[in-house]
Amino acid sequence: MQRVDVTMAVENLVKPLVESEKMELVDVEYKKEGKAWYLRVFIDKDGGVKIDDCQNISYQIEKLLDVEDIIPHSYTLEVSSPGIERPLKKLKDYERFKGKLAKIYLYSPVNNKKHLVGKIIDVEGDAISIE
């Protein structure tokens, strides 16, 4: 299975589990670092994620992945919060942090700038307004 396929399969598998615990699945990463493979699952919830939340979700994901056998080789599972420098990848991330300061990196320049810093004012459709 390709790396992207593994990421999507894991995301589809664990999202209902994470949501059943009243948390949000922020992101799933599956990557090779050196000779080792890592599966990283990032979770969040109102009030922040505690170590017990990560342990609980990690244990449940381990059991689920053992049954589903999506990843054909050994890997290290890591479950954590996305942290203070969390990347905003989805529109709902921008919606959640409306009114907050954000660093935004663009693929194509806007007004000759590829890096913007500003307050997220609004999210409408697929457009994000910053000031």
Confidence check: pLDDT of 23 > 90 = yes
Percent of the residues in the chain that have a pLDDT greater than 70, as a whole number: 99
* Residue 126: predicted pLDDT: 84
What confidence category does residue 41 fall into, taking pLDDT thresholds of 50, 70 and 90?
A: very high
pLDDT at residue 116 tops 70: yes
The reported pLDDT for the residue numbered 1 is: 63
Tokens encoding 47: 């009030």
Alpha carbon distance 93, 79 (integer Å): 19
DSSP 8-state code for residue 98: T
Mean pLDDT of all residues in 11-15? 96
Whether 93 has a pLDDT exceeding 90, the answer reads no
- Predicted local distance difference test score (pLDDT) of residue 125: 85
Strands 76-80 and 36-44: parallel
Average pLDDT across the chain, whole number: 92
Domain spans, the chain: 3-80, 91-130
CATH class, domain 3-80, is alpha beta
Amino acid identity, position 101: L
